[in-house]
Copies of this chain bind each other. A is one copy, B any other.
């Protein structure tokens, strides 16, 4: 295996509806073929105009937005609502988020984050003449473990899951642990150099295994359908 580098991209300006994310990235980062560009959902949602007005003095206003974005409520406790979104993501508040958004507004998840990733990838090919992969990331909680980690909600040009089934371990036994969600590991790795409070919304992972660079989709590969799921 080769070393990997995690490189924060400084200098991305505040993003507004209608901005082209790929052009903002191309203006701030020097990219190489094979790089994986991880972009936080927040700037993707802003650029795509996925903002709604909420009344900052009326907590119900935010709550209504959460229910509008949900197909099902799984659990409630206090202010926390765990719901399933139209994408099939299960997360707090259906991903409706007030942080790093202008007062009076909330950011919704992109309608189709895989498509958002493909669009940024195509845009970077056009703007910077590079063949990169793109992951759109968001910050989710987990069951049973405290703390949040960044995971992939959309991807393009990079395997969501690498399937090791049929390969052998170092001592020739069939591997039991087989399907590694590299897209989530890459999203979490990128978070380490992003720093939410510094407002760095993009990071580059350089040196990723070339065998992982292929067409893929978070929706198809990562989202587990309800029948398969043991906990919902």
Contact = CB atoms under 8 A, between A and B. Distances in A.
Nearest to A181: B147
A208 interface: yes
A225 B8 CA distance: 35
Interface stretch (A21-29, A47-55, A116-124, A136-144): A136-144
Interface string A79-94: 0001000000110000
A1 B193 contact: yes
B77 A164 contact: no
Interface in A196-216: 196-200, 208
A184 interface: yes
Given A82-B230, A188-B184, A170 B100 contact: yes
A193 B180 CA distance: 12
A99 B142 CA distance: 26
Copies of this chain in its oligomeric complex? 2
A31 interface: no
A169 B43 CA distance: 14
A4 B182 CA distance: 18
Given A14-B171, A192-B185, A149 B198 contact: no
Interface string A139-182: 10011111111110000000011001001111101111111111
B195 A145 contact: no
Contact of A170 (B98, B144, B191, B198): B198
Interface in A49-103: 74-75, 77, 82, 89-90, 97-103
B82 A181 contact: no
A202 to B, nearest CB: 11
B75 A146 contact: no
A186 B191 CA distance: 10
Interface in A209-232: 221-224, 228-232
Interface of A: 1-8, 14, 74-75, 77, 82, 89-90, 97-103, 139, 142-151, 160-161, 164, 167-171, 173-182, 184-186, 188-189, 191-200, 208, 221-224, 228-232
21 contacts: A4-B5, A4-B193, A5-B5, A6-B189, A74-B230, A89-B144, A90-B144, A98-B173, A100-B169, A102-B171, A142-B143, A145-B184, A146-B181, A147-B161, A147-B180, A149-B184, A164-B197, A169-B197, A185-B191, A188-B188, A189-B189
